[in-house]
Structure 1
């Protein structure tokens, strides 16, 4: 009788598998991962049926957080905007020509000079500007508002009477003042300044530019009219302008012909006297 031997292979039994825990499904706001934000807290409160007063407090917290983030974004964008190579040219000549054909006076930037230079640079960083115009008590008030795309805004407000110099009608007087205030409020709220057409940005008028060209190469800064002397003389200059004896351009040209340049602020002050009695 033939015996067939079979190999016996010992197989180690695998340990019994642990029973699976019942699945638990998370839903809604409770399933949110990551940092807890006011939005997250608000969703949880709504799901749990929190009372309206508590939800109202969460809404206030959310709004304050959004406002803070918007302001931080505004400040950052304005800082980046200031790094842009923006040059605002002064293309408008104010003054007169002598018999020899020389121009006597000064230049300033028109509204379009300012908006064309500033607008694109601001938009690049999520900023925009707009004006609000109000009238009352014989004054025209212009608010220039700069707004960031996240909603934060800041503004500068200036007022002035209608510009009745020359032979303007009532509408032209109003439009002249509005344009003037729009220009200066936009410059103020953005912290920008203008540069002359051909004076290397030193802020001088036509008379001063020729003097700077003749100055030694090592003279880095022009000599400006002392503010103390300006304050001492401005009363008489203002009277001369408001009485119609001279124009702002003539006063500026006369002062600068003595060899010292007027600053932009001083020239703007002289120019403003022509609008006081408008």
Structure 2
């Protein structure tokens, strides 16, 4: 009796799915290279491609914003509104907010800029929060000129601009503030090393081992954001690490 011949089932060739954006670009490229290209079709493809890019950028923006929120502390209220010699209320100054928030924003790929425009009887301050993926969000605030106290015209404009920047930044980033005497829960800007000191730290890092440089990046990120109070201790640590590395190299020879 002849045994039946069993033909193995052919394996299915499963191709890895190409990113949608790349597929659209490939189609656009083929259409553009066709002499009989339908311009209406080409324009629709371009619109689709731009829409997909915008959606991807917005998705990255939202993910980065969600991650950044957990890193943003409450800002210390170190400014005071004084009327007739009496303090009425405390607030976080724009400078303090910027000093605390800027390095956090840079870590997550964000930057913020402002647009100031004159309006009848005052001004408009617009804050624009941008992400490296390309998406941006904005919010605006209409303000009268701050003529309180004995401010001149220039001071009135400056005060209103600072006020507007403070509030649109708080709105875009969902910032909270606390009194400075709240048992240390509010963040106070930390003075960083000078440009010259940062250059000195970088010079030392170039002489360090990769292990030491990795430790430094994990601890501080970059030389420019090393707290001023940690400078001397850090320099001593790096010099000690350099000497240990040089001694180990000498022993190995």
Structures share fold, TM-score greater than 0.5: yes
Would the aligned equivalents of 1:86 and 1:121 in 2 still touch at CA under 8 Å?
no
Would the aligned equivalents of 1:195 and 1:201 in 2 still touch at CA under 8 Å?
no
Residue 55 of structure 1 and its aligned partner are, at CA, apart by 1.1
Give the equivalent residue in structure 2 for 1:51. Answer: 38
> What's the RMSD between the two structures over aligned residues?
2.4
Q: Residues 66-105 of structure 1: matches in 2 within 5 Å? A: 66-95=53-82, 105=88
Distance in 2 of aligned mates of 1:142 and 1:80? 27
Q: Tell me, which stretches of 5 or more residues in structure 2 are unaligned?
A: 1-16, 187-253
Between Structure 1 and Structure 2, the one with more helix by share is: 2
Q: Residue 93 and residue 131 in structure 1: after superposition, are their counterparts in 2 closer, same or farther (change >3 A)?
A: same
Residue 113 of structure 1 and its aligned partner are, at CA, apart by 0.8
Q: Residue 175 and residue 95 in structure 1: after superposition, are their counterparts in 2 closer, same or farther (change >3 A)?
A: closer
Larger Cα-atom Rg: 1
Q: Residues 25-174 of structure 1: matches in 2 within 5 Å? A: 34-35=18-19, 37-49=23-35, 50-95=37-82, 105-174=88-157
Q: Residue 149 and residue 35 in structure 1: after superposition, are their counterparts in 2 closer, same or farther (change >3 A)?
A: closer
Distance in 2 of aligned mates of 1:45 and 1:193? 52
Which string of whole-angstrom CA distances, capped at 9 and with x for unpartnered residues, describes residues 43-83 of structure 1?
Answer: 11122332222111111010000000010011001001101
Distance in 1 of aligned mates of 2:153 and 2:113? 24
Would the aligned equivalents of 1:138 and 1:161 in 2 still touch at CA under 8 Å?
yes
TM-score (normalizing by structure 2):
0.61
Give the equivalent residue in structure 2 for 1:224. Answer: none
Residue 94 of structure 1 and its aligned partner are, at CA, apart by 3.1
Distance in 2 of aligned mates of 1:57 and 1:43? 13
